[in-house]
Amino acid sequence: MAFALVACLFVGADHTPQTRPSLFARDNLVAWCIVPFDAKHRTPAQRAEMLQRLGFRHYAYDWREPHLPTFDGELDELARRDIELTAVWFPAPLNDQTRVLLDGIRKHKLKPQFWVMADVNSVQAGVDAITPIAREAAKLGCTVALYNHGGWFGEPEHQIAIIQELKKAGVSNVGIVYNLHHGHAHLDRFPALLARMKPHLVALNLNGMVKGGDSTGRQILPIAQGDLDLSLLKTIRDSGYAGPIGILNHTDEDAEGRLRDNLEGLEWLVPQLDGKPPTAPKPTPRTWRVDDQDSAKPRS
């Protein structure tokens, strides 16, 4: 099934120094890939409690068919804990599943992003696939974000071309959400790609990165366990990007354990962005070992 993720964030918005959040601070981080990817199969209440315990204020909701009946309850649990639904994994084309999502978003008066992945291989096909979703999103004041997941549609240049054609047709609420774990093929040209994406970028999801990781069983690693992580964080910070930063599980590990591993790795790296030496040894992950390639493989 093709999926799309929608969110109502700014597209290429600039922030004043007074309003810009610290890019890698906890209150700018979005928990991602923790619903169908979780060894403990948490309920909506347990998931919201976990997010609150970890200090997350933002959450991107991914799902599979069995999770949809509890979507409304998920939104109630987030509201009780003042956690923002920043984005929701949204199917394409529009169907009965999208109705559940749209009804819940409308009922709770939310404005999440819709992150969209489409199975297309031309700009016009991309425009045709995204236009009806963007129109539904616009009714709610929301933004569609094109999601890189490999293939033709996963190339940022193609996504930018789709966005440009949509704008010509009067559809202006479409941006890009970029996932490092689906960007191994882009590593050599990532700084240039980021510069091109930045005017359209509404979210960026981090991952521990090594060159060729997607072909060596190390596609998804905890942050700080990849030898490219520090340089990638510097590139992201120095680009001037100021939007949400995603932290993911996307493995069959305990979602809380993997989120903690990523948070600790990020906190260990951030001081080094300004040239400070590490003040402690690199964190030892709970959910991954150097010789454990299986846990680095995504499950979809």
* Percent of the chain whose pLDDT exceeds 90: 88
Are 174 and 138 within 8 A, CB to CB?
A: no
Summarised one tens digit per residue, pLDDT across range 223-268 is: 999 999 999 999 999 999 999 999 999 999 999 999 999 999 999 9
Are 225 and 181 within 8 A, CB to CB?
A: no
Q: How far apart are CA 50 and CA 63, in angstroms?
A: 17
Q: What is the mean pLDDT of residues 53-68?
A: 97
pTM of the full structure: 0.91
Q: What is residue 21's predicted lDDT score, i.e. its pLDDT?
A: 55
Given a cut of 80, is residue 32 above it in pLDDT? yes
Q: Cis before residue 36, ω within 30 degrees of 0?
A: no
Q: What is the mean pLDDT of residues 278-296?
A: 81
CATH of domain 3-12+20-296: 3.20.20.150
How does strand 29-32 pair with strand 143-147?
unpaired
- Tokens standing for 135? 């129109």
- Tokens standing for 235? 């590139």
- Tokens standing for 18? 């007074």
Domain boundaries, the chain: 3-12+20-296
Strand partners, 147: 177
Q: How far apart are CA 88 and CA 90, in angstroms?
A: 6
Are 138 and 106 within 8 A, CB to CB?
A: no
Given a cut of 90, is residue 6 above it in pLDDT? no
Q: What is residue 75's predicted lDDT score, i.e. its pLDDT?
A: 98
Phi, psi of 204 (to 5 degrees): -140, 125
Given a cut of 70, is residue 116 above it in pLDDT? yes
Given a cut of 70, is residue 19 above it in pLDDT? no
Q: What is the mean pLDDT of residues 34-43?
A: 98
**Alpha-carbon distance values, 184 to 83, 189, 207, 216, 253 (Å):** 31, 10, 10, 11, 22
Among 300, 225, 231, CA closest to 272: 231
Summarised one tens digit per residue, pLDDT across range 120-173 is: 999 999 999 999 999 999 999 999 999 999 999 999 999 999 999 999 999 999
Among 139, 159, 122, CA closest to 4: 159
